[in-house]
């Protein structure tokens, strides 16, 4: 299946270079308008094994169709397989623990326990992204060690072998808070702006937008998944019509998909509600215990001091009587 969206819009104008270190277009930049957007499945890549050359396999599968300005959406699973990120299924729990940095939420259910965690890449996902789907029986796949670096290698290799400047988005399926179902999102990227900063531009009513920053890399990943699917054996899609997002020569200095991760200080929902409640209960109990201990200690000290003073006075009076004083 090929998706072809056409709109009666002017051809896109090139964006300015991304703001250094942000992975986004410069604030207030005129957004690109894709006159036509074509998403095509890349057939013929086949099953990937550890050590396979993805640049060669993807390049030959695209053939002479690949041209500068294209964007390739590449499923993370083939990157993981090529990089040897495969483990026996009986080591899954250990792998999840090793990949986990922070537990966000966990729920017990009839089939076990689902854990939503932040992994070492900063991505919040179920089971740290360790997955048993679309891999050989008895194995699990870990996410690539560095998806942004993997995307940069693909960009460089395709430039070297096919003389094209393309963007690459490494995609993976993620759940979403407050929404049913999953969708593909960008976990690695190179050669394109991953965020489109529209702050300062007027909206359709002429009012300046103050908070709109579009996650275009995630939108590309989700749209490409409509073509790749989950069971069709098509791990790569070619996206054409978003040339304005491609940053020629920018792959070595942009931050890639890391720019899509929300900083901890901006995260209003850093824990699941049950975990936040339990932390609050423990903290309150501990504070109450400490306060009670401190109060008891102070009261005991005061009582002991008074009792000691009374005992000393009584002893003094006893001695006075025994000496006839």
Q: Could you give the maximum distance between any two Cα atoms of the chain, in Å?
A: 121
User: Which of the four pLDDT bands, split at 50, 70 and 90, describes residue 251?
Assistant: low
Question: Are residue 63 and residue 173 in the same domain, yes or no?
Answer: yes
Q: Which of these three, 71, 106, 138, is where a domain ends?
A: 138
Strand partners, 169: 73, 189
Question: Are residue 265 and residue 306 in the same domain, yes or no?
Answer: no
Question: Are residue 165 and residue 113 in the same domain, yes or no?
Answer: no
pLDDT of residue 238: 97
For 69, which DSSP code? T
pLDDT digits (tens, 9 = 90+) for 40-61: 999 999 899 999 999 999 999 9
In this structure, of 123-127, 148-152, 293-297, the range with the lowest mean pLDDT score is 293-297
Domain count, the chain: 3
Question: Are residue 121 and residue 176 in the same domain, yes or no?
Answer: no
Are the CB atoms for 246 and 190 separated by under 8 Å? Answer: no
pLDDT of residue 275: 65
Tell me the C-alpha to C-alpha distance, in Å, between residue 318 and each of 305, 308, 313.
20, 15, 9
Question: Are residue 179 and residue 297 in the same domain, yes or no?
Answer: no
Are the CB atoms for 35 and 201 separated by under 8 Å? Answer: no
pLDDT of residue 325: 59
Mean pLDDT of 237-262: 85
Question: Are residue 284 and residue 318 in the same domain, yes or no?
Answer: yes
Distance CA 93, CA 41 (A): 34
Question: Are residue 255 and residue 286 in the same domain, yes or no?
Answer: no
Give the residue numbers spanning the domain of 313: 272-325
Question: Are residue 55 and residue 151 in the same domain, yes or no?
Answer: yes
Q: Which of these three, 76, 104, 138, is where a domain ends?
A: 138
Which residue would you say has higher pLDDT here, 137 or 273?
137
Position 292 pLDDT exceeds 80:
no
Sequence-ordered list of residues with C-beta below 8 angstroms from that of 198, at least 6 positions apart, any chain: 31, 209, 212, 213, 214
Position 270 pLDDT exceeds 80:
no
Question: Are residue 53 and residue 200 in the same domain, yes or no?
Answer: yes
Mean pLDDT of 62-80: 94
pLDDT of residue 106: 85
pLDDT digits (tens, 9 = 90+) for 149-161: 999 999 999 999 9
Overall pTM surpassing 0.85 (yes/no): no
pLDDT digits (tens, 9 = 90+) for 199-219: 888 888 888 888 888 899 999
Question: Are residue 285 and residue 318 in the same domain, yes or no?
Answer: yes
Other beta carbons within 10 Å of 57: 19
pLDDT of residue 24: 65
Question: Are residue 72 and residue 195 in the same domain, yes or no?
Answer: yes
Position 105 pLDDT exceeds 50:
yes
User: Which of the four pLDDT bands, split at 50, 70 and 90, describes residue 13?
Assistant: very low
For residue 100, report the phi and psi dihedrals to the nearest 5 degrees: -85, 135
User: Which of the four pLDDT bands, split at 50, 70 and 90, describes residue 104?
Assistant: confident
CATH of the domain at 167: 3.30.1330.100
Question: Are residue 53 and residue 92 in the same domain, yes or no?
Answer: no
Distance CA 225, CA 124 (A): 20
Q: What is the DSSP string of 163-223?
A: ----EEEEEEEEEETTEEEEEEEEEEEESB-SBEE-TTSB-TTSPBPSS-EE-HHHHHHHH
User: In the predicted model, what is the mean pLDDT of the chain?
Assistant: 83
Residue 221's Cβ-count burial label (10 Å; 0-12, 13-18, 19+) is buried
């Amino acid at each position: 299946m090929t998706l072809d969206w056409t709109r009666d819009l002017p051809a896109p104008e090139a964006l300015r270079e991304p703001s250094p270190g942000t992975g986004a277009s410069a604030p207030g930049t005129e957004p690109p308008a894709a006159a036509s957007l074509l998403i095509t499945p890349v057939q013929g890549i086949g099953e990937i094994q550890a050590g396979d050359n993805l640049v060669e396999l993807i390049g030959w599968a695209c053939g002479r169709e690949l041209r500068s300005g294209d964007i390739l959406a590449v499923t993370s699973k083939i990157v993981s397989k090529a990089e040897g990120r495969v483990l026996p299924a009986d080591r899954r729990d250990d792998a999840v623990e090793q990949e986990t940095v922070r537990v966000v939420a966990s729920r017990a259910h009839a089939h076990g326990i689902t854990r939503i965690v932040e992994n070492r890449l900063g991505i919040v996902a179920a089971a740290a992204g360790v997955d048993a789907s679309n891999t050989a029986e008895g194995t699990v796949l870990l996410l690539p060690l560095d998806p942004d670096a993997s995307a940069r290698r693909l960009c460089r290799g395709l430039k070297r072998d096919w003389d094209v400047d393309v963007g690459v988005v490494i995609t993976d399926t993620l759940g979403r808070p407050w929404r049913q179902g999953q969708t593909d999102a960008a976990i690695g990227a190179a050669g394109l702006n991953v965020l489109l900063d529209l702050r300062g531009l007027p909206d359709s009513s002429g009012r300046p937008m103050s908070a709109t920053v579009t996650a275009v890399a995630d939108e590309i990943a989700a749209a490409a998944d409509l073509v790749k699917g989950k069971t069709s054996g098509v791990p790569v899609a070619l996206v054409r019509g978003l040339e304005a997002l491609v940053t020629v020569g920018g792959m070595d200095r942009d931050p890639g998909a890391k720019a899509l991760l929300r900083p901890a200080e901006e995260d209003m929902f850093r824990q699941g509600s049950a975990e936040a409640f339990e932390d609050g209960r423990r903290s309150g109990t501990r504070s109450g215990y400490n306060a009670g201990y401190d109060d008891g200690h102070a009261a005991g000290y005061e009582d002991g001091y008074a009792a000691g003073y009374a005992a000393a006075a009584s002893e003094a009076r006893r001695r006075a009587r025994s000496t006839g004083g």
